[in-house]
Structures are given as C-alpha cells and as structure tokens.
Amino acid sequence: MKLISLLKSGFLAALCSFGLNAATIDNAGVLSEPIKSKLNEMGAELKETTGVTLDLITFSNLNGESIDEAIKPFKSSLKPPYVILVLVPKKAGAKTGKVDIYTSNDANSLFDKEAVLSPYPESGSILPILVSNKGKDIYNAAMLNGYADIADRIANSKGVVLKSSIGNSNRDTINIFRYLIYGSIILVIVVFAIRKIKR
C-alpha cells in the first residue's frame, strides 16, 4: 500500500530527476514551466560555481509524515553541501501550508535560514508573499523569490555573482521606500527646527 502511494506521489520520477541534476521537483503541480526552467538554470549555475546543490521540492500531500520524513529519500541521494527548499501548499479549507529549508551540516553557515524564512518583508523572501494571498501565482512568486534569495546568499558567501540571478526586487523596493520615508521625516524635522530657531 505504501509503495502505491509512493508511486502516485511521483517519488520515483522525482528520484530519477535528481539523478539528472534537476533543481526542481514539483509533485504538488503549483509551479509553472517558465519558473521551473529559471529555478533549474539558477540551480545549475550555483552548483557549477560554488559546488552547492540547491533543490526545491513541493509535496501535494505528506500522507501523515513530517516534512523531514518525506524528504529523507531525497537527502540520501544528494552529496553535501546541499540545501533543500520544501513547500507543502495550503489545501482548501486548511489554515496554512508548510515551508522549510533543510541543509547539510556544511551548508548551514552559507546563508541565514531564519532571514529567508522571516515573516517580515524587509528580510524574508518567501512568507511575506505567501501570507499576502494576493494573486493566483503566489506559489510561483514565493518560490522564485525564495530560491533566488537563497542562491544569491550562498553565492555571496562564496564570493561569486550569479549571472542568472534575478536579484531581490521586493527587498530593494522596500528599502528604497524606507529610505525615502526616513529622509522625508528627517527633512521635515530639520525644517521645523530651522523655523523654530529663526523665531
């Protein structure tokens, strides 16, 4: 019975695709082909330039297992250093889905997992998009943004710049607005102080 559920979940196809150095295994069917292609491109460049494997796995159903138990077969097929980004999308009627990042011991220090998974838009690159519930492609946007953020952080830790990087436009935009707002507040305070001194 368990063998049948493994076959239905695409486990064997996923395991075979890992052998082909695929970076994306979308068992949940939530990612579009262009996004998978971009993720695979970034993953291949990261592996080639840094030696670190970065994979994304989505599960439609964990069948009562924890995420850690579900990815054990995938982890055993990878050579360290590796990072695995895992998504279990929210089902209809469920309150939340699940997102987590698993690393080999030697990949722990290459990036800040807590920052990537932060719910705050200024540092997190996945959860702020998922909790927004705006738009039909939140999984595509969140996984592309999170995967690219992890890849860029790993590349930076190794002193490499990825040509396929998309950057982090959300964080950059938020920081630009933050600086504009802070600058405006400081300008208003300075103008009030100068007017008060002149009186």
Please list, in sequence order, all residues whose beta carbon lies within 8 angstroms of the beta carbon of residue 91, skipping any fewer than 6 positions away.
97
Is the pTM above the cut of 0.85?
no
Question: For residue range 107-121, what is the model confidence (pLDDT) as tens digits?
Answer: 888 998 888 888 877
Question: For residue range 73-90, what is the model confidence (pLDDT) as tens digits?
Answer: 888 888 889 999 998 887
CB 121 within 8 Å of CB 131 = no
CATH class of the domain defined by 2-167: alpha beta
Question: For residue range 5-44, what is the model confidence (pLDDT) as tens digits?
Answer: 444 444 444 444 444 455 788 888 888 999 899 999 999 9
Written as six digits, the tokens of 11 are: 């486990």
In this model, does residue 143 exceed pLDDT 80?
Answer: yes
State the pLDDT at residue 44: 92
State the pLDDT at residue 13: 43
State the pLDDT at residue 26: 85
State the pLDDT at residue 194: 92
State the pLDDT at residue 125: 77
